[in-house]
């Protein structure tokens, strides 16, 4: 019992914000948007730092769009499918080159995709 209490105490210490002197992971924020018309994103290439990445997707179109992040054929994250609004998603990525695309049928093939470079 005494051992359990000790373990819980140690875990709590690690969970407290500001206790660790190690470098705090920074959250990169990536902005991706879709214009009022056209099956495309405004950005063709976006960049972020490795780790937890916040993707803010603003769709200015009346057409529904989303953002999916993949590495090869491996799906890593997907936003909500929205029109005329903004949504947020998180992905945790290592350094590398990823694809982002819209999974609404026909959109990716029409050119609605881009590259996410993580460094
Ligand atoms: Cu789309």
| Structural domains of the chain sorted by starting position, each given as residue range(s) with its CATH number in brackets | 26-118 (2.60.40.420)
> HSE-up of 19 (CA within 13 Å, CB side)?
8
Distance 110 CA to ligand 1 centre (A): 9
**Mean pLDDT calculated for residue range 86-95:** 97
Tokens of residue 93, six digits? 């990525």
Pairing of strands 28-34, 51-59: parallel
Report CA torsion sign: 89, 105, 41, 64: negative
* Tens-digit pLDDT profile for residues 35-79: 999 999 999 999 999 999 999 999 999 999 999 999 998 999 999
CA atoms within 13 A on the CB side of 5: 2
Q: What is the pTM of this model?
A: 0.78
Q: Residue 92 forms beta bridges with which residues? A: 52
Q: Judge contact between 86 and 58, C-beta under 8 A.
A: yes
Could you tell me the distance, in angstroms and rounded to a whole number, from the CA of residue 57 to the centre of ligand 1?
Answer: 12
**Per-residue model confidence (pLDDT) at position 24:** 59
What confidence score (pLDDT) does residue 22 get? 58
Ligand 1 centroid from CA 99, angstroms: 14
Percent residues over pLDDT 70 in the chain:
78
Question: How close is the Cα of 104 to the center of ligand 1, in Å?
Answer: 5
Convert 3-35 to b/e letters by CB count within 10 Å (16 or more is b). eeeeeeeeeeeeeeeeeeeeeeeeebebebbbe
- Using the mean position of ligand 1's atoms as its centre, give its distance from the Cα of residue 28 in Å: 24
Instruction: Please give the DSSP secondary-structure letter assigned to residue 72.
Output: T
- C-alpha of residue 107 to centroid of ligand 1, in Å: 5
């Amino acid at each position: 019992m005494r051992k359990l209490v000790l373990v819980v105490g140690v875990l709590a210490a690690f969970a407290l914000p500001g206790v660790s002197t190690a470098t705090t992971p920074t959250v990169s924020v990536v902005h991706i948007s879709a214009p009022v018309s056209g099956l495309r994103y405004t950005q063709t290439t976006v960049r972020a730092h490795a780790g937890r990445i916040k993707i803010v997707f603003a769709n200015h179109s009346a057409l529904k769009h989303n953002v999916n992040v993949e590495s090869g054929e491996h799906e890593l994250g997907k936003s909500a499918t929205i029109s005329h609004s903004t949504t947020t998603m998180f992905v945790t990525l290592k350094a590398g080159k990823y694809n982002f695309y819209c999974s609404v049928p026909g959109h990716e093939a029409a050119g609605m995709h881009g590259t996410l470079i993580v460094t």
